[in-house]
A and B are shown apart, each in its own frame.
Chain A
Amino acid sequence: MTRRGFTLPELLVALGLLGVLGAAVVGLLRGTQDAYRAQSQQFDVRQNLRIAAAFLPGELRELDAIDGDLVAMGAAALTIRAQRQLAVLCRPPRAGSGPSSLMLTLRDSPFAGWRDFNPAADSVFVFSDGDTATPDDDGWATGSIGSFVPDTCPDGRLGRRFTASLRPAPGRSLGSWGITAGAPVLGFETLGYRLYRSSEDGRWYVGLQTATDMQPVLGPVTSDGLAFAYLDSTGLVTTQSSRVAMIEIRVRAQTLAAIRDGRGRLVQPVDSVVMLVSLRNNRRF
């Protein structure tokens, strides 16, 4: 009798080989999956660091420490005056209800800004030219603003009027403000960037603290995920805000879940970015 087919030993050998091969393939796939997980976790970390590298220097570079834009300097928190608007006066100021009160009219256009004026949160600098023949007596009056009402400029264009409570520019006094039509008005907001722990997920974030609330800017980061160092123009650490010429920002972030490293151990790698920002608007003379 001849029956065609496989013998039992042949079948066993084939099954054994298949098993070995299958195990190898599964091992390979698991390695690939681990690598994929590790990659996507690390992408998230780098994404956070990239936001930090793009966002924080841009916000800090425009500051002028010599003229007081650094309001409070901490190791993991920084409060600054951040410029938000630029507008132009279209009339000479008129006296308001008190000695420090001035009625100012802004042109609707030109106007530049991240957002419109918010009387609850914003303050202004108003350029005080004084003697128009020399820049030596120029300065800025500063103070808070009230709500806006529509107004018309002398040339018939649209504008809006508000009352500001101002301190005179250095060297000037209440009543002799030195403010003329055409004076630029800078709107700014006092806000802070700081490390904080979210009450929602218990993780650490870099947050933006405004007068009214705290918003996460980037994260999650590690519990020591944000560090500021304040350097003078020679690169030495200083605690005097008016001497700060550069700010070093250090952001550390960690993968959310543990991933396998090259040797198969479970780790939560930390990555970091260090940025050095020189303050562009510091006076250089």
Chain B
Amino acid sequence: MSRNGFTLVEVLVALVIFAIGALGLAAETAALTRQIGIGQRAAVVTAAATARLERARARACESRADGIETVRYHSVRLADLEWSWRDPGDSAFRLTLVTVPFGAPARSSIPADTLTTVVWCRR
């Protein structure tokens, strides 16, 4: 008897190859979702850092204190903001703000960052 068509083995091999491709696509989706998450967390940390800079600017010419602040989002700890002042003696105070992501560096963690700025208090 001869019937045209695929054998079971052929069909199985084709299915496996298709599945590998589909899994690749699914992995891509996961990577995309992870990136979106990183972006959202980074935006929250950036907003906190911006507010910290505004606070520092408002007070800098009266007093300057180094400090640390933990940024949370829905009670999940995202990063620590550490800021420190340097006074080079020219009434232009240097502020360094460091973002330290919480936890070990992972594919899903936000990047570490350092920002240095000047607050002028000259007359």
A245 adjacent to chain B (CB < 8 Å): yes
A68 adjacent to chain B (CB < 8 Å): no
B3 adjacent to chain A (CB < 8 Å): no
A-B contact count (CB 8 A): 35
Residues of A within 8 A of B58 (CB): 231, 233, 235, 245-246, 278-279, 282
B118 adjacent to chain A (CB < 8 Å): no
B 38-82 to A, binary, CB cutoff 8 A, 1 in contact else 0 = 000000000100110011011111100000000000000000000
Question: With A284-B121, A285-B123 in contact, is A278–B57 under 8 Å at CB?
Answer: yes
A277 adjacent to chain B (CB < 8 Å): yes
Cβ of A234 and Cβ of B59 under 8 Å apart?
Answer: yes
A121 adjacent to chain B (CB < 8 Å): no
Cβ of A284 and Cβ of B54 under 8 Å apart?
Answer: no
Classify the interface of chain B: helix, strand, loop or mixed: helix
Which of A135, A231, A233, A277 has the largest number of chain B CB atoms within 10 A? Answer: A233
* Residues of A in contact, count (CB < 8 Å): 16
Cβ of A276 and Cβ of B54 under 8 Å apart?
Answer: yes
Cβ of B55 and Cβ of A278 under 8 Å apart?
Answer: yes
- Of B50, B51, B59, which one neighbours A245 at CB under 8 angstroms? B59
Classify the interface of chain A: helix, strand, loop or mixed: loop
Question: With A284-B121, A285-B121, A285-B123 in contact, is A276–B55 under 8 Å at CB?
Answer: yes
Chain A residues numbered 266-285 whose CB sits less than 8 Å from any CB in chain B: 274, 276-280, 282, 284-285
Chain A residues numbered 232-255 whose CB sits less than 8 Å from any CB in chain B: 233-235, 245-246
Question: With A284-B121, A285-B121, A285-B123 in contact, is A276–B51 under 8 Å at CB?
Answer: yes
Which of B50, B58, B59 has the largest number of chain A CB atoms within 10 A? Answer: B58
* Residues of B in contact, count (CB < 8 Å): 14
Cβ of B54 and Cβ of A278 under 8 Å apart?
Answer: yes
The CA of A234 and the CA of B57, in the complex, are separated in Å by: 11
Residues of A within 8 A of B57 (CB): 278, 280
The CA of A282 and the CA of B54, in the complex, are separated in Å by: 13
Residues of A within 8 A of B121 (CB): 284-285
The CA of A234 and the CA of B51, in the complex, are separated in Å by: 13
Closest-CB distance, B73 to chain A (whole angstroms): 13
Cβ of B54 and Cβ of A246 under 8 Å apart?
Answer: yes
Closest-CB distance, B57 to chain A (whole angstroms): 5
Question: With A246-B54, A276-B54 in contact, is A233–B59 under 8 Å at CB?
Answer: yes
Which of A245, A277, A284, A285 has the largest number of chain B CB atoms within 10 A? Answer: A284
The CA of A245 and the CA of B63, in the complex, are separated in Å by: 14
Closest-CB distance, A80 to chain B (whole angstroms): 17
Q: Which residue of B lies closest to A231 (CB)?
A: B58
Closest-CB distance, B50 to chain A (whole angstroms): 8
- Of B55, B62, B123, which one neighbours A246 at CB under 8 angstroms? B55
Cβ of B61 and Cβ of A285 under 8 Å apart?
Answer: yes
Residues of A within 8 A of B62 (CB): 233
Closest-CB distance, A236 to chain B (whole angstroms): 11
The CA of A277 and the CA of B58, in the complex, are separated in Å by: 9
Which residues of A are in contact with B by a Cβ distance under 8 Å?
135, 231, 233-235, 245-246, 274, 276-280, 282, 284-285
Ranked nearest first, the 4 interchain pairs of A and B with the lowest CB-CB distance are A284-B61, A278-B58, A245-B58, A276-B51
Can you list 18 A-B pairs with a CB-CB distance of less than 8 A? A231-B58, A233-B58, A233-B62, A235-B55, A245-B58, A245-B59, A246-B55, A246-B58, A274-B51, A276-B51, A276-B55, A277-B54, A278-B54, A278-B55, A278-B58, A284-B60, A284-B121, A285-B121
